[in-house]
Amino acid sequence: MGLPLRLGCLLCAFSCCGAQVSQSPEALVTREGDRSAMVCTYSSAYFPFQWYRQVPSGEITHLLSVPANRNVTEGRFTGESQDGGKKSSLNLAETRVADSGRYFCAVAAQ
């Protein structure tokens, strides 16, 4: 087993048009080589979920865009659409030390 890693999930309070986004867990401690997962829930099902990572230096990168009813894989990241598009989980396979950071999701009106 490798070092414990802390993946912080910024609570996503982005809202649009009366809809709310929430994310869990708020913080996830995982170990190198393990699979990590976090879930984002939206009160509506019309927009794709965007997943981002913020590294400790502050830089934010976009990881995935998960449309309703589709699963998307980019490298070790898989974004799943659940609950008819109202929920999205981000799964990270084989977590590495370099994956430490804040993960958050947003639902943006176009």
Ligand X SMILES: *[C@@H]1O[C@H](CO)[C@@H](O)[C@H](O)[C@H]1NC(C)=O
The site for ligand X (CB under 6 A) is made up of: 69-71, 80-81
Q: Which residue is nearest to ligand X (CB)?
A: 71
Residue 104 has phi, psi (to 5 degrees) of: -150, 160
**Smallest separation (angstroms) from ligand X to the CB of 94:** 17
**Smallest separation (angstroms) from ligand X to the CB of 17:** 24
Which lies closer to ligand X via its Cβ, residue 50 or residue 78? 78
Which lies closer to ligand X via its Cβ, residue 34 or residue 80? 80
**Smallest separation (angstroms) from ligand X to the CB of 70:** 5
Which lies closer to ligand X via its Cβ, residue 26 or residue 94? 94
CA distance 71 to 6: 25
**Contacts by 28-31 with C-beta closer than 8 Å and gap 24+?**
29/4, 29/5, 30/4, 30/5, 30/95, 31/1, 31/2, 31/3, 31/4, 31/5, 31/95
